[in-house]
Structure 1
Amino acid sequence: ETCAEIATQWDVGPHVALGLGEARGGGRKKAAILADVCESLIGAVFVDGGFAAAEAVVLKAWGERITAGAEPARDAKTAVQEWAQSRALAPPRYEEVERSGPAHAPHFVMRVTLDGFEPEVGAASSKRAAEQAAAQAFLARWAAT
C-alpha cells in the first residue's frame, strides 16, 4: 500500500510500459503495479548506487512515516491468524466463492472460514484484496467476542 502511494507521489504511472490490455484496463493506476514499480526503482538505485543511495531514497520518500513512529498496521489476514492462534484454533481457511468480470477487470468473492464460527465473505478486484476484505469482515463481527 505504502509503496503504491509513494509511486503515485513520484508520478511513475505514465512512464510504466504495459501491454495494450493492461494499459486499457487502468494498469497505470493499479496499486499492485505501482507498488512493484516502486520496489523495482529502489532496487535499481541499490544496484546502481549501493546501500547508501537506496537508503537515502527510502528515507526521503518514507521519512515522515518512519519518524512518526507509528506502529506498523497489521493486515486483516494477519490479525485473524493471530486471533485464532491466541485461542488455540486451527488457522483460518480462505476459498474463492465467485469470480466474475472480464480478465482485465476481474471481481472476486472470497470466504474465510474458522472452525466454530460463521464464515465471512469479502469482495474485491484481486483475490488478495478480497481475502483481506473477508478477514476484515470476520474481525468486525467476531474479534470483540
Structure 2
Amino acid sequence: MGGVSAKSARAALMRALGHEFADPGLLERALTHSSIANRARPDNQRLEFLGDRVLGLVIAEALLTEDKNAAEGLIAPRFNALVRKETCAAIATHVGIGEALILGRSEAQTGGRRKTALLGDAMEAVIAAVYRDAGMEKARAVILRLWADYIAGAEEDARDAKTRLQELAQARGEALPVYKVVNRRGPDHKPVFTIEVRLESGGTASAEASSKRDAEQQAARRLLEEISSDD
C-alpha cells in the first residue's frame, strides 16, 4: 500500500464516505477481492450485487426528481451514464477505495488498486455495506453526496460520442454505426483493444484503449471530428 496502513486507509475512506461503521466487518468484506478470499474471509461479490441495486434505485429516483417531465427515453441514457462501472470506479478513486482494497499478492502487484472493474465493484459493495450497516436513508445520503456532480452533469455525460454518432447516422437515414475489434494485444490483466467504427456511408475511424468501451468512445469521437472537418 506504499506505506499506508490498512487501518488508516479504511479510516480515511470512512471520512470520505461520511459514515462511521457500527460493524467494521461489513466494510472489510466490501473491500475484500476474490483474489484473497477464503471461507473465513468471504469476498465482496454478494455485497456488490446488492449495492448495484441500491445504487440503481437511488439514482433512478434522483433523476426522476430532478426532471419531473422527462420521458423514459431521456432518463435511461442518463441513468446508464451514472451507474456504469467507469463512473463507480472514478468515485471509488476519489474516496480512496483503491488504497483500502484487500487484494491477493498477485492482484496487488499487477495494478489491482487501479483497475476499473475492481474499483467499480468495490464501490457498489461499499454502498451495500453502508445500507446493511445503517439503512436505506444513510445509503441514499452517501450516494447523493458522492454522485452530486455527476447527477448535475448527467444529461451531457449521457450524450457521449457513441450516442452522438448514432444520432447522426439516424438523422442521415443510415444504419447504426458498426464497431469491430480489429486487434487485441497485451497480457490478460492489461489488454489493449483496437476498435474500428464504420458508418454505412463509408466513414471509418479507429482507436485503441485498455477497454473495449473506451476504445469505442475514442473511435466514435474521431469519426465525429472527421465528419465535422469535412462538413
Same fold by TM-score, threshold 0.5 exceeded? yes
Instruction: Give TM class, smaller chain.
Output: 0.7 to 0.9
| Residue 119 of structure 2 corresponds to residue 34 of structure 1 | yes
Deviation string 1:58-112 (CA, Å, 9 cap, x unpaired) is: 122133444xx43332222222122212222111111111111111211110101
Match in the other structure for 1:72: 156
Match in the other structure for 2:224: 139
Q: Which runs of 5+ in 1 are unaligned?
A: none
| Residue 214 of structure 2 corresponds to residue 122 of structure 1 | no
Amino acid at match of 1:116: S
The 10-residue stretch of structure 1 (72-81 or 121-130) with the greater mean CA deviation from structure 2: 72-81
Q: How does 1:42-61 map to 2 (within 5 A)?
A: 42-61=127-146
Out of 77, 81, 104, the position equivalent to 2:166 is: 81
Match in the other structure for 2:60: none
State the distance in 2 between where 1:137 and 1:97 align. Answer: 16
State the distance in 2 between where 1:98 and 1:25 align. Answer: 22
Identical-pair percentage: 45
Match in the other structure for 2:19: none
**Is the partner of 1:89 in helix, strand or coil?**
coil
Q: Once the 2 structures are TM-superposed, how far is the Cα of residue 24 of structure 1 from its aligned partner?
A: 2.1
Match in the other structure for 2:94: 9
Match in the other structure for 1:23: 108
Aligned residues of 1:14 and 1:28 also touching (Cα < 8 A): yes
**Is the partner of 1:72 in helix, strand or coil?**
helix
**Structure 1 pair 20/119, CA: closer, same or farther in 2 (3 Å)?**
farther
Structure with the largest fraction of strand: 1
State the distance in 2 between where 1:104 and 1:117 align. Answer: 34
State the distance in 2 between where 1:83 and 1:129 align. Answer: 20
Give the TM-score, by structure 2 length.
0.55
State the distance in 1 between where 2:150 and 2:214 align. Answer: 23
Match in the other structure for 1:62: 147
State the distance in 1 between where 2:113 and 2:205 align. Answer: 32
